[in-house]
Structure 1
Amino acid sequence: MTYPMRKEFGVPGHAIEKSPVRFPASAEHACASPVQPVELTAGPTVKTPAHSTSAKEQSRWYLPVRIKFALSLILATMWSVLSFYLGQRWLADMSHLFGTAWAYLILFGIAILPGFMNAFLLSSLLMDRRPVLREANEPLPGISMLVAAYNEEASIAQTIESIAQQAYPGELQVIVVNDGSSDGTAAELDRLPYPWLEVIHLPSNIGKAGALNEGLKQVRHKLTITVDGDSYLYRHALENLTRRYLSDPPNTKAVAGAVLVRNSRTNLVTQIQEWDYFHGIAAIKRVQSLYQGTLVAQGAFSVYDTEVLRHVGGWPHSVGEDIVLTWAILKAGYRVGFAENACLFTNAPTTMRQFIRQRQRWSRGLIEAFKEHWQMLFELRMTTVFIWWNLLFPYMDVVYTLAFVPGMVLALFGIYWIAGPMTLLVLPMALIINGIMYRIQSGMFAEQDLKVRRNWLGFICYSLFYGLVLQPACVVGYVQEFVMRTKRWGTK
């Protein structure tokens, strides 16, 4: 069982491909499905999205965002009340064993609150209608791209080549900050021939936030896009990201792109993460964007208003610099969106140890965001509900780790003190949500001429065992933020 809305996750313009895009053999097509992998193709075609609707149809079925928000809250509350009513016998049994206070903490931590969040997510996804992008024939502004690289000898050239193949129809400035790499990253960068490429070689490692801030000093365009040094941009990614930014409400000052796993064929660890990126994170970002506030414009691929970036002080020196920066933008009163069709493929951790370290770092970033921007809890806007949910994650992760996991072990031996028949209520909801997520994401893939691939083993492990590793790792990350002071490059 994993929780939704974890920190963490439209209709594309009818743009004509400017040049063929060669997708490297190591890049993955996305996620598990009964469809066999096929080679990606790209060419000078104009494609109308299969599910595009006319302005008249959109107007006919349109519900204001605040009405959607209210309906989702009502439906989620009704589900929670029903769950609480049905769980009275379970609550009584646990009260007899552990005491009333502990019984309530366990019930709400592993059933009521996750059920509320899942119901809210489900109803929101069903009502979500992505706004139409700005027409492709309208000119696009110049953009500046920042790529912070530390020991990226094996991938940095391919990342820059993927930018070149975008053929972005506007002025392009690319600034790569080599953050004191000790491998051959500098030599790889110096041999690249692109006239729009600017390289800053830092004499020593100062950390990702510091490297990005050094690059920000050289930015000359109104829009700044960040890309990780081991990533690959899929076709139209820059154009789709920029058009989403321009098409969103005027107070939008950042938009997160869609980050997908590039190396999912490596082993089971990456196969599981493929589902997390393709399924869970994307759906969460979609819902948060619907309600005017994606909580993480990830550094791997996002666009920001340059003036706002400088106004909030750039990237903070923190473990989770992207989440802290995003909350600073939200706290300043701006909106953060999500471009689900602006796809970037990145390398996920390949070992369980690397994965655990990554999620511990993300958890530290959440605590950093609360420490820096706790005032967000008291703002009257739809985004605030997600801030409160993030505040509840440490509590739910602790209950999951210390109560639910032992309860599942006991249930295997026929002892239903904690995990019993009541926990089965979450299964229908989880199945429905997974089906909705898959339908939405596979539709987006079809529009982008991407094919989902067969990855059933990854899906099974993601569904059944992911939380057994993820949530204890998050608990350790929360503790680390209060006892550790180191702030340095780590896994993404």
Structure 2
Amino acid sequence: MKLEDNFKVSLQTNIQTKKQDTRYIPVIMKFALSHFFSLLWICFSIYVSIPWLIDLSKIVTLPISLLIIIGIAYIPGYMNAFLVVSLIFDKQPPFKNEYPSKDITILIAARNEAENIENTLAYIAKQDYTGKIKVFVIDNGSRDDTSFVALKAGEKLALDITVIQEEKPGKYNALNTGLKHVFTDLIITLDADTLLHSSAVRYLVARIESSPKEVCAVAGSVLVRNSRENIITKIQEWDYFLSIASIKRLQGLYQGTLVAQGAYSVYKTECVREIGGWPDAIGEDIVLTWNLLRHNWKTYFEPLAVAFTNVPNTVHVFARQRSRWARGMIEALKITKPWQQPQIYTKYLTGINLIMPYLDLAYTFFWLPGLILSFFGIFWIVGPATLLVLPLTLLSYSILYIYQKHVFRNLNLRVRKNWSGFFLFLLCYQMIMSPVSVWGYAQEAFKFKRVWK
């Protein structure tokens, strides 16, 4: 190639790089623009809801009308608008090294998991990760053959596995016991009934290794494994696939994924040790993550690091799980106040949780009764104005569906055609979630006994 051709190619590359650089929008600008468009939406919502507000105030007074409409329309609409705009702006940065090889440790806290543990270990053995993987199974007072099955499976699969006994109940006790034996820079926590995609560990480690040094944890993408069981699991498939994933993407964009979930996440060992390990809490992973953020570290989310977990297959078990999650959020708020967070993004993200009890109470005690009244032609609370939130919800789910479908394609996975579960998720899910969350808040308020599972 001639010298002038080399120069032209170099010049063209520089121009393209500059164009790409000019397209980059700083995180603070994305944050500001998302709020700006959300404010525009809420102004529009207030304008079109004035007749509704006037009519309702004639029945229950103006202050109560505002309390109801703010809780079931204005704030949810604002939050949905913020989510939609943020998802549009979000773009996952490329890996610096897609094939890391540093040694890691996986901690599996197990209690009566003899039925599941061998399968979980088998999927660890199938990882395409080239670094050394050390596995600790911490048997937390099991009454079955969890320890025996784990050891036999490790031997059969040629895994470097150690079983540790921890009789003191509590997942946080099990994980902290395992932490004492860790000598690697990175720890991955994995639930005993969670199966890893063959590239899950590689992508999770690649993300934390590609991130700035202040990133101390990365949450993996946990999806539903048993979605074909019944309608309860089919609905939850969409919750994990769309709702939970979208929220984690939003939080990851603003450098503060609020839950590096114990089911599947990676942490820097020294950071976990510096804050004293997992706390004595029913939501130990929530409180741990908020403590990490409070120390001016950051947490990310990696959608390509996919794991599949069993979700509750009955309403009773589902309600127990989600009430526990709600209770864990309250614990986190009591231990780490949002205003104690050092970064503006995490102040905002954790601060949103302060209003979640109000929104769940409003939905449970205002929206649900209003829905019942609407079937009798009484549109005091639920009417045309409340449907304004629906287009934003559909838009956010559409954006995420396209994104998730692309992620699945990269992993050679297919999105299941589960339309019955989708429509029930869209129409009915919140009707279950809000009352269950309110029950969780009550459990924490009255200090009910904690239950791990």
Same fold (TM over 0.5): yes
Shift of 1:482: 1.3
1:407-426 to structure 2, matched below 5 A, reads 407-426=370-389
8 Å Cα contact 2:135/2:159 also seen in 1: no
Partner residue in 1 for 2:433: 470
Shift of 1:377: 5.6
Shift of 1:195: 4.6
Opposite residue 457 of structure 1, the aligned amino acid is S
Partner residue in 2 for 1:185: 146
Partner residue in 2 for 1:75: 37
1:450-465 to structure 2, matched below 5 A, reads 450-465=413-428
> What TM-score do you get using the length of structure 1 for normalisation?
0.86
Shift of 1:208: 0.6
8 Å Cα contact 2:125/2:159 also seen in 1: no
Q: Distance in 2 between matches of 1:58 and 1:342?
A: 27
Q: Distance in 1 between matches of 2:152 and 2:328?
A: 36
Partner residue in 1 for 2:56: 94
1:472-487 to structure 2, matched below 5 A, reads 472-487=435-450
8 Å Cα contact 1:252/1:336 also seen in 2: yes
8 Å Cα contact 2:105/2:186 also seen in 1: yes
Q: Distance in 2 between matches of 1:128 and 1:136?
A: 20
- Alignment of 1:125 with 2:92, yes or no, is no
Gaps of 5+ in 2: 1-15
**Which protein shows a greater Rg?**
2
- Aligned residue among 327, 342, 346 for 1:383: 346
Shift of 1:387: 1.3
Q: Distance in 1 between matches of 2:239 and 2:230?
A: 15
Partner residue in 2 for 1:84: 46
- Alignment of 1:339 with 2:302, yes or no, is yes
Report the identity percentage: 45
8 Å Cα contact 2:338/2:346 also seen in 1: no
Closer, same or farther in 2 for the Cα pair 1:282/1:55, shift >3 Å? farther
Shift of 1:140: 2.6
Partner residue in 2 for 1:257: 220
Partner residue in 2 for 1:175: 136
Runs of 4+ that moved beyond 2 A: 54-61, 375-380, 484-488
Q: Distance in 1 between matches of 2:388 and 2:77?
A: 9
Partner residue in 2 for 1:18: none
Q: Distance in 1 between matches of 2:285 and 2:386?
A: 35
Q: Distance in 1 between matches of 2:354 and 2:47?
A: 25
8 Å Cα contact 1:181/1:205 also seen in 2: no
8 Å Cα contact 1:151/1:182 also seen in 2: yes
Shift of 1:380: 4.5
8 Å Cα contact 2:110/2:137 also seen in 1: yes
Opposite residue 246 of structure 1, the aligned amino acid is E
Shift of 1:180: 1.1
- Alignment of 1:357 with 2:320, yes or no, is yes
Counterpart secondary structure, 2:127? coil
Pick which of 66-75 and 428-437 moved more.
428-437
Counterpart secondary structure, 2:417? coil
Q: Tell me how many residue pairs correspond in the alignment.
A: 435
Partner residue in 1 for 2:6: none
Q: Distance in 2 between matches of 1:56 and 1:358?
A: 49
Partner residue in 2 for 1:303: 266
- Aligned residue among 117, 130, 145 for 1:156: 117
Partner residue in 2 for 1:105: 67
Closer, same or farther in 2 for the Cα pair 1:200/1:75, shift >3 Å? same
- Alignment of 1:288 with 2:251, yes or no, is yes
Closer, same or farther in 2 for the Cα pair 1:174/1:361, shift >3 Å? same
- Aligned residue among 134, 145, 148 for 2:96: 134
- Structure richer in helix, relative to its length: 2
1:271-312, CA deviations, whole angstroms, 9 ceiling, x for partnerless residues?
000000001101110110000100000000000010110111
